[in-house]
């Protein structure tokens, strides 16, 4: 008669144990909904390979809203990288060699806000090259952004970001002696992928992108890593950031992790959730990190 109550008491701990038994490289689970809110739809089979991780598409869409304001006019130029367009912004009056940065857009695509951010990086003294992972598409609705993100081919994406790195190293206007990468959300995940696949990279900045938490995989990274995360992020929650931090340590990767009391997309240049205070503080720390790794002696 006492067995059933005992099983009920054990149910929650066992469920938690099962949840944490996922592979270290699996994406984060969705946070539990607030009391009284409808539970999110269960992730479909194969969600571990989905660009939204274990979040449903609707939950993932809810983390992003497109800004309605216009960015300042772009001042760079369009170039070709791996058969796709890219946006190159050079420092004013700079002459090669110049440190280079691969800039990777978040899920809306290579839009005017990403180009403006690329121009800001150029004003900081970098040859900044913003890649286009969507083949010319720029999303203006969550459905379009989801479709574009899901259509990205992994092998082609790696080819594009590595080609961007080569462009910065070899183009006569740049001839970058040192190179780095920076990306937000979708682009943050690709900044990490570039670090995993390009041993010549000198620095990688990851703004709340989908993470790899397997030390064996992370050992491939040669570049110092700076990760920027929000403690209120339901897509990349603090416990997953903790795993990433530990895995980088175990893999022997030089790194630093910044955390803010902010939500997902708090620093996205295209996002409506832009948090001025957290974004400004993280930006200054990113600037210092990039300067030390790409401009230092």
Choose the most confident range, by mean pLDDT, from 58-62, 207-211, 253-257: 253-257
Distance (Å, whole) CA 251 – CA 290 = 22
pLDDT of 30 > 50? The answer is no
Determine whether 49 is exposed, middle or buried from the number of CB atoms within 10 Å of its CB (0-12, 13-18, 19+): exposed
Both tokens of residue 181?
Answer: 């990468």
Nearest to 114 by CA among 271, 280, 270: 270
Name residue 256's beta-bridge partners: 226
| Cα-only R_g, the chain | 20
Reported as a pLDDT band with limits 50, 70 and 90, residue 50 is low
Q: Say which residue the tokens 């009920």 belong to.
A: 8
71-to-3, 67, 140 alpha-carbon distances in Å: 64, 10, 15
Tell me: the pLDDT tens digits for 59-113?
A: 777 777 777 778 888 999 999 999 999 999 999 988 999 999 999 999 999 999 8
């Amino acid at each position: 008669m006492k067995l059933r109550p005992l099983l009920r008491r054990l149910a929650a701990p066992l469920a938690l144990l099962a949840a944490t038994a996922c592979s270290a490289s699996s994406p984060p689970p969705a946070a539990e909904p607030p009391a009284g809110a409808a539970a999110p739809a269960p992730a479909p089979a194969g969600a571990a390979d989905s660009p939204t991780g274990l979040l449903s598409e609707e939950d993932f869409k809810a983390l992003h809203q497109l800004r309605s304001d216009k960015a300042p006019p772009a001042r760079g130029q369009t170039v070709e990288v791996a058969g796709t367009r890219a946006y190159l912004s050079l420092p004013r009056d700079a002459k090669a060699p110049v440190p280079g940065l691969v800039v990777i857009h978040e899920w809306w695509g290579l839009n005017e806000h990403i180009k403006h951010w690329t121009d800001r990086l150029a004003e900081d003294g970098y040859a900044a090259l913003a890649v286009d992972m969507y083949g010319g598409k720029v999303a203006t609705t969550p459905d379009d952004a989801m479709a574009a993100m899901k259509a990205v081919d992994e092998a082609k994406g790696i080819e594009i970001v590595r080609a961007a790195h080569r462009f910065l190293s070899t183009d006569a206007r740049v001839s970058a002696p040192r190179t780095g990468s920076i990306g937000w959300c979708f682009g943050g995940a690709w900044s990490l992928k570039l670090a995993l696949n390009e041993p010549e990279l000198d620095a990688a900045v990851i703004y709340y992108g989908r993470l790899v938490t397997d030390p064996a995989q992370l050992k491939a990274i040669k570049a110092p890593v700076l990760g920027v995360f929000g403690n209120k992020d339901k897509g990349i929650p603090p416990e997953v950031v903790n795993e990433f931090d530990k895995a980088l340590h175990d893999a022997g990767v030089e790194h630093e992790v910044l955390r803010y009391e902010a939500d997902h997309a708090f620093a996205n240049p295209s996002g409506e959730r832009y948090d001025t205070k957290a974004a400004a503080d993280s930006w200054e720390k990113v600037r210092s990190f990039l300067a030390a790794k790409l401009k230092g002696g």
